[in-house]
Amino acid sequence: MTLGLKFLPNFVEDLFLHTFPLPSFLVKSGYEKVRKDFDEAIAPLLDEAERLGLSRDEASHNMMFITGFNAYGGLKLSFPALLKYVALAGEELHRRLCREIRAVVEAEGGVTLAALERMSLTKSVAWEALRIEPPVQFQYARAREDVTIKSHDACYLIKKGEVICGFQPIATKDPMIFSDPDEFDPDRFVGEGEKLIKYVYWSNGRETDDPTASNKQCPAKDMVVLLSRMMLVEFFLRYDTFSAEVGKLLLGSSLMFKSLTTRYT
C-alpha cells in the first residue's frame, strides 16, 4: 500500500507503513463497537466455528477481517477496474457478453454455477481484468529461510530474515508469457488461452494453486473470481451496453457511468 503523496519521500512512507505494526489502541475502541454488532449479526456462523474447534473470539476477528478487507477493500478495487476495461472495450464486447450470458442463462434455466462455467468469454474477461490491474499490487513478507527466486534468465538469493516486496504486475504483464501485456484482451483466456491462467498472479500465487495455511495466497481468490463473473452476468442481464468516465484514485480506478442502455425485451 502507498499513500501516493509525491512530496513524501519513499523512505519516510516505508518507515511508518511497512516497517512495524501500527499500535492497536488507535482503532481499538471503534473496532470493538463495530465487532459487538457484527457478532450479533453472524451469531450462527460463530456457533458453527465453535463446533469446528475455533474459538468464538478468533472466528469473530477473522470474519471482521474478511468483511472489512477482503470483501470491502478488495472488491472495491476489483469491481471498478473490471467495469472500466469492459467500458473501454466498447459496444462490440458488450454485444458478445450479452449474447453469451443470456443464451447460457436461458439454456440453464437461471444463473447457476453450471451456467457460469459455460461462459468462456465472461470467465476470460474477469481473469483479464485481474491480470492487467490486480486489486492488491504490492505484497510484503519476511523470508523464513534462504530462498532462491528464479526468473526467465536470472536467479536471486534472498537471505533468511530479509524483507521481500512483490509487485504483482511484473508477473501479470510479463511480455515473455503474454502478448501485448499492457493491452486488455477479452479473449486472452478463451479456449487454449485458458492454460495461461497459471501465470495470473493477482492473488499472490498462481491462479491454479489453492490458498493454504503455509502460503500467503489470498484466501478468497476463488470468491473474487466468482463474484467478478457474477457482476458481469447480472449487469448484462439488465443492460445492453453502457459508457463510463474512468480515472485514477489513490488506490485503484474510478468509474462514473455516463449512460446505460436497458435491455429491450
For residue range 143-187, list pLDDT tens digits in order: 889 999 888 888 999 999 998 888 889 999 999 999 999 999 999
For residue range 135-146, list pLDDT tens digits in order: 888 888 888 899
Predicted pLDDT at 65: 84
- 220/228 Cα distance (integer angstroms): 12
Long-range (24+ apart) CB contacts under 8 A made by 137-143 are 137/167, 137/168, 137/169, 138/1, 138/2, 138/165, 138/166, 138/167, 138/168, 139/165, 139/166, 139/168, 139/204, 139/216, 140/18, 140/164, 140/165, 140/166, 141/166, 141/216
> What is the SS3 assignment for 195?
helix
Structure-block grid coordinates of residue 15: 518507515
10 Å CB burial of residue 230 (0-12, 13-18, 19+) is: middle
Output phi, psi for 245, to 5 deg: -100, 125
- 42/35 Cα distance (integer angstroms): 10
Q: pLDDT tier at 1 (50, 70, 90 boundaries)?
A: low
More confident residue, 26 or 194: 194
In this model, does residue 3 exceed pLDDT 70? no
Bridge pairing between strands 163-167 and 138-142: antiparallel
In this model, does residue 122 exceed pLDDT 90? yes
The dihedral over CA atoms of 139, 140, 141, 142, expressed in degrees to the nearest 10, equals 150
In this model, does residue 63 exceed pLDDT 90? no
For residue range 221-238, list pLDDT tens digits in order: 888 899 999 999 999 999
